[in-house]
Copies of this chain bind each other. A is one copy, B any other.
Amino acid sequence: MTSAGDKGSGLTYASAGVRLEEKDRFTDSLVSVMKRTHGPRVIPNPGGFAGLFRLDFNERLFKRNYKDPVLVACADGVGTKVKLARQMNRFDTIGIDLVAMNVNDMIVQGAEPLFFLDYIAVPRVESAVLGDIVKGIAEGCRQAGCALLGGETAEMPDVYAPGEFDLAGFAVGVVELKRATDTERVEKGDVLIGLESSGIHSNGYSLVRKVVESAGLDLDAVYDELRPRAIATKKRAGSAASRKKAGAVGKNGTKTRAAAPAPLTLGDVLLAPTRIYVNSITKLLREYRVKKVISGMAHLTGSGMAGNLERALHKKVDAVVRLDSWQPHPVFTFLQSHGNIPDDEMRRVFNMGIGYVLVVRPTFADSVVQKLRKLGEKVHVIGEVVKGKGVVREE
């Protein structure tokens, strides 16, 4: 290596916009947040190059050995919901969305989520923002019963404009081979059971933000049409200013949410985190371990009911979904009317209020509905399987 003068005159990594120390400090601060998601199957590996997760315990106490374990893996992001989080300057729930998008896909295969890893890309490490994002991810992992095993934070000032960021996540789970879902199992007569979504979840935000912009909607306002059971109230005047102030306080570490539950603003409703169905679905599957009661499942994401439920079918059956069998979440009617969005476009882009669908043997349908309600889900029987050629018919 040749000598190259003193530090003052030459180029350094810092002069290129990357601050290794800041990143290291942030990484260290994550350790305790991540540890709270670690069960006994995570092997401590401080400073290690990778996360270590024991698949099985040979010790009798923890024994849940698999005869023929199949690993199940997903990769997903949260799309432009990141933009909304930035607009609202609230970063503590977007991580829940990130976990949800991955683990809800995974349980469709009958798998139990084991662990999760994240990738966070930012133009510049802002510890408070990143800390909130990771807290959300850890909360999502807690809800999904999986370990936050590792992740990567990339500081890339030349790729991401100031204020922009992106998130990607990866989940790994396991399923016993003979219990993995199989589209061939779906039969004519099977009942479609829908679980309500918490709102928009994490798809369609480019369109959502377009509606907000083109209709001049105010993220900080409370709109009557968005109240689940509408009581007439006027649009809250001046709320934009008051929320912004609250946000600024929050950034400095104080809890921002008012003591009494404030009415939800449009921003609150749009940013509501994606519901994680892991607990309900894994418990349900465990209750029917011997009998094959669940023929198939679908997590409703980017291409709506038709595009996703179709993936649970084989070529000799159709799914008939009755659109009048549930009330869409008010946010969808709100967006549709303000954006003048065609019906079929709505159904193609959004979940319309149903986030997860189970295909169930008819004799067990009532029992499945009851069990899911006890597990805290809002459940609707939304249709049935008929002879066909592998498509979803929304009627």
Contacts and interface: CB of A to CB of B under 8 A. Distances in A.
B11 A80 contact: no
Interface in A46-76: 47-56, 58, 66-76
Contact of A164 (B71, B117, B159): B159
Contacts of A323: 1
A129 interface: no
A342 B310 CA distance: 59
A343 to B, nearest CB: 6
A50 B73 contact: yes
A329 to B, nearest CB: 11
B337 A2 contact: yes
B168 A152 contact: yes
A211 interface: yes
Given A55-B55, A67-B58, A106-B49, A345 B73 contact: no
A46 to B, nearest CB: 9
A115 B11 contact: no
A333 to B, nearest CB: 6
A11 B340 contact: yes
Contact of A159 (B54, B71, B80): B80
Q: How many copies does the complex hold?
A: 2
A299 interface: yes
A56 B157 CA distance: 43
Contacts of A173: 50
A111 to B, nearest CB: 7
Contacts of A303: 20
A151 interface: yes
B13 A49 contact: no
Interface string A148-162: 011110101111110
A71 B180 contact: no
A69 B51 contact: no
Main SS of chain A's interface residues?
mixed
A39 interface: no
Interface string A244-258: 000000000000000
Nearest to A71: B53
Contacts of A223: none
Nearest to A108: B49
Interface in A141-198: 149-152, 154, 156-161, 164-166, 168, 170, 172-175, 177, 180, 183
A319 B175 CA distance: 43
A315 to B, nearest CB: 11
Nearest to A165: B159
Contacts of A56: 68-69
A320 B310 CA distance: 60
A175 B170 CA distance: 20
Given A156-B80, A303-B20, A109 B54 contact: no
Given A13-B207, A79-B154, 13 more contacts: A1-B332, A1-B352, A4-B341, A48-B311, A49-B311, A51-B73, A51-B74, A53-B72, A55-B55, A58-B68, A75-B152, A154-B166, A158-B206
Interface of A: 1-7, 9-13, 15-18, 20, 43, 45, 47-56, 58, 66-77, 79-80, 82-83, 105-106, 108-109, 111, 114-115, 117-119, 121, 149-152, 154, 156-161, 164-166, 168, 170, 172-175, 177, 180, 183, 204, 206-207, 209-211, 214, 298-299, 302-303, 310-311, 323, 328, 332-333, 336-337, 339-343, 345-349, 352
6 contacts: A1-B328, A4-B342, A5-B340, A10-B339, A10-B341, A119-B119
